[in-house]
Amino acid sequence: MSTGVTKNERVRPDTLTATILHREPHPLPQNTTEAILVYPGKLEKSIILKPASIPYCSVDPVGKIEKNEVITPNAMMLSDNFFALHTMFEQNIKATLVYLDPPFATGRDFHSRQLDHAYTDKLGSAAYLEFMRRRLILLREILTEDGSIYLHIGHQMVGHIKVLMDEIFGKRNCKNIITRRKCSSKNSTKKQFANIHDFILFYTRSAHYKWNPPGEIPDAEWIAREYPKVNDRGQYKLGPIHAPGTRNGETGEPWRGKMPPKGKHWQLKPSKLEELDKQGEIHWSCNGNPRRKIYLTAEKRLAFTDYWGKFRDAHHQSIKITGYPTEKNLDMLKIIVGASTDKGDLVVDPFCGSGTTLDAANQCGRPWVGIDESFVAAKATINRLCKGAQAMGDYVQNQNNKKKEPDNLTLEGLNGMHTEQIAPKPMGFNFYIDTELIETYKKNIEELFSL
C-alpha cells in the first residue's frame, strides 16, 4: 500500500527523474486549470437559475383538487423535476440529503413487471449530460451547507458524470466513488467481463457536512480471526504502538532504550506507554518487540468501505419489491439516510421511481420530497407508501394468476383511512400535480386516485 508524506515529514530531497533533460514538446496546461466538459447547448448557470417554477395542485384526502403553490414535506410531486426543483429553490426549501438514481444513458426503454412502460433512456451523450447538469445545479442550490448528494449511475456515463460533479460541487467535495454489486454474474461474458457493478458518487456541499459513520455488527468468524487471543478481560488482538511519520517531540524520543522504526513515531508519549506496560496492556514478543493489547468491545462495528457487496437488487423470492424497473435496495438507502442526516432533516429524491428513498427516509424519521414524471412511478410509489412492497415470490405468483390489486387507489387509503390491505403503519403524505396535467392526463390521474 502506498502512503504519502506531508511536507513536514519529508526528510530527503525530491527524487531525480529521467525527464530532467527533456520537456514536453507542447506545454501542458497550468496546474491550476480545471478540466470541464464542453458540448453544444451548454447553458450558463445564471440562465438555468432564472425563475422557472410552475403552478401545482394538491389533492386532499377526499380527492379534492386545490391550487397549492406551497410545497410541504412529506410530498410526492408528479412533475418534470426541473420545474419541481425550481419551485423548491424559489421557495427556499433546503435538503440535507439528495439521493438520485437517474437514467443511466443506456439507450433502452424500461417496463415494470406488469409490462407498463416506465421511462425511456435514449438521450444522446451531450443531451444527457446537459439534462443532468441543469438538475444537478438546482440540486446544489437546494442543499444545506452541511448537506450531501449521492448520485447512482452505471458504467456507461460514470466518467462523464464524475467530471460534471467536480465542476458543479468541486473536486475536493468528492468523498467517495462507491462500487455496488448489483447482481450475480451474468451471461454476457462471451466477449467481455461480466458486468455486475454500478456506482454511487458521494459529494458534499462543503467541507463541513453531517456524517454519522455507519457500521455493521461483525460475525463470529470475523471476531475469531481478528481477535484470536483471550485473557480474563476477554478477547483481544495485538496492534503496533507506532504510527507513520517522524516527530520531533516526545513521541519521537526513545522508550525503554528503543527508538520507533525509521520513518515512524510512537502513538503515545513514552510516559503513557510506561503506564500501559505497568497495567499489563503491552505485550512483549520473544525478541523484545512491544505491541499493544486491543480488546473487543460490545460496541465494535465494522466500518463500511467504498465497496458495497451486500446491497444487491432483488435476487430471490423472499425480497420485497414493487415491480418497478431499476428498483434499488431499501437497506442501502437506509444506510445512506442514516449516514448523512439527522432526524428531522429533509431528504429529496428527484427521480424517486418506486419510492424506495422515501420509504427509507420515513423509516429513519426524516421528512422527504419525491419527484417523478412517470405515472408508472407515481403508481408504484403510492402503492408502496400505502401497502408496502410485496415479496417477489408472491408478487410473481399474483401476476401469473392475475390477482392484481385494484389500479385505483383512493386518497382515503393513501392516508390510512381505509384499513383493508393497508400496511400496519400507513403513511399520510402530500401529493402535488403539475396543474397542466389535470386536463391533459385526466384519465391517468384517475387511475392513480378515484377522483
CATH number, domain with residue 408: 3.40.50.150
Identify whether the C-beta of residue 95 lies closer than 8 Å to the C-beta of residue 142: yes
Same domain, 315 and 422: yes
Same domain, 57 and 176: yes
> Residues 6 or more apart from 411 whose CB is under 8 A from it?
59, 60, 61, 62, 63, 431, 449
Residues 125, 113: Cα–Cα separation, whole Å: 28
Same domain, 227 and 80: no
Q: Which three cell numbers stand for residue 357?
A: 428513498
Residues 296, 266: Cα–Cα separation, whole Å: 23
One-letter-per-residue 3-state SS of the chain? CCCCCCHHHCCCCCCCCCCCCCCCCCCCCCCCCCCCCCCCCCCCHHHHCCCCCCCEEEECCCCCEEECCCCCCCEEEECCHHHHHHHHHHCCCCEEEEEECCCCCCCEEEECCCCCEEEEECCCHHHHHHHHHHHHHHHHHHEEEEEEEEEEECCCCHHHHHHHHHHHHCHHHEEEEEEEECCCCCCCCCCCCCCCEEEEEEEECCCCCCCCCCEECCCHHHHHHHCCEEECCEEEEEECCEEECCCCCHHHCCECCECCCCCEEECCCHHHHHHHHHCCCEEECCCCCEEEEEECCCCCCEECCCEECCCCCCCCCCCEECCCCCCCCHHHHHHHHHHHCCCCCCEEECCCCCCHHHHHHHHCCCCEEEEECCHHHHHHHHHHHHHCCEEHHHHHHHHHCCCCCCCCCCHHHHCCCCCCCCCCCCCCCEEEEECCHHHHCHHHHHHHCCC
Tell whether 12 is covered by a domain.
no
Closest to 357 measured CA to CA, from 80, 57, 102: 102
Same domain, 243 and 331: no
Tell whether 147 is covered by a domain.
yes
Same domain, 204 and 251: no
Residues 99, 151: Cα–Cα separation, whole Å: 6
Give the domain range for residue 269. Answer: 220-295
Q: Nearest-5° angle of CA 184, CA 189, CA 193?
A: 80
Tell whether 427 is covered by a domain.
yes
> Residues 6 or more apart from 88 whose CB is under 8 A from it?
71, 95, 142, 348, 369
Q: Look at residues 259, 276, 295 and tell me which one is the last residue of a structural domain.
A: 295
End-to-end distance of the chain based on CA atoms, in angstroms? 63
Residues 105, 393: Cα–Cα separation, whole Å: 30
**What per-residue confidence (pLDDT) applies to 110?**
43
Identify whether the C-beta of residue 46 lies closer than 8 Å to the C-beta of residue 138: no
Residues 444, 451: Cα–Cα separation, whole Å: 11
Q: Which three cell numbers stand for residue 120?
A: 425511456
- The whole-angstrom distance between residue 47's C-alpha and the CA centroid of its chain comes to 29
**What per-residue confidence (pLDDT) applies to 3?**
63
**What per-residue confidence (pLDDT) applies to 380?**
87
Same domain, 369 and 332: yes
Q: Look at residues 237, 272, 295 and tell me which one is the last residue of a structural domain.
A: 295
Give me the tens of pLDDT residue by residue for the chain, a chain 451 residues long: 566 666 666 667 777 777 666 777 888 898 888 888 999 999 999 999 999 989 999 876 556 788 877 999 999 999 999 999 999 999 999 999 999 999 855 555 544 455 465 546 557 788 899 999 999 999 999 999 999 999 999 998 999 999 999 999 999 999 999 999 988 766 567 788 888 899 999 999 999 999 999 998 999 999 999 999 999 999 999 999 999 988 889 999 999 988 998 889 999 999 999 999 999 999 999 888 999 999 999 999 999 999 999 998 865 555 666 667 778 899 999 999 999 999 999 999 999 988 999 999 999 999 999 999 988 888 888 888 877 766 554 545 555 554 444 333 333 333 332 223 333 344 578 899 999 988 888 888 877 765 3
Residues 435, 53: Cα–Cα separation, whole Å: 12
Same domain, 353 and 244: no
Tell whether 4 is covered by a domain.
no
Same domain, 332 and 372: yes
How many residues can be counted in the chain? Answer: 451
Strand partners, 209: none
Identify whether the C-beta of residue 345 lies closer than 8 Å to the C-beta of residue 327: no
Tell whether 239 is covered by a domain.
yes
Same domain, 212 and 224: no
Same domain, 345 and 378: yes
Number of domains in the chain: 2
Same domain, 329 and 435: yes
Tell whether 278 is covered by a domain.
yes
Identify whether the C-beta of residue 117 lies closer than 8 Å to the C-beta of residue 109: yes
Residues 444, 170: Cα–Cα separation, whole Å: 41
Tell whether 403 is covered by a domain.
yes
Q: Position of cell 400505502?
A: 386
Q: What's the pTM value of the predicted model, to 2 decimals? A: 0.82
| Residue 3 one-letter amino acid | T
- Exposed, middle or buried, 192 (CB in 10 Å: 0-12/13-18/19+)? exposed
Tell whether 274 is covered by a domain.
yes
- The whole-angstrom distance between residue 35's C-alpha and the CA centroid of its chain comes to 25
Residues 93, 291: Cα–Cα separation, whole Å: 53
Q: Look at residues 295, 318, 348 and tell me which one is the last residue of a structural domain.
A: 295
Same domain, 391 and 426: yes
Identify whether the C-beta of residue 242 lies closer than 8 Å to the C-beta of residue 266: yes
Q: Which three cell numbers stand for residue 206?
A: 462543503
Identify whether the C-beta of residue 89 lies closer than 8 Å to the C-beta of residue 98: no
Closest to 138 measured CA to CA, from 108, 106, 93: 93
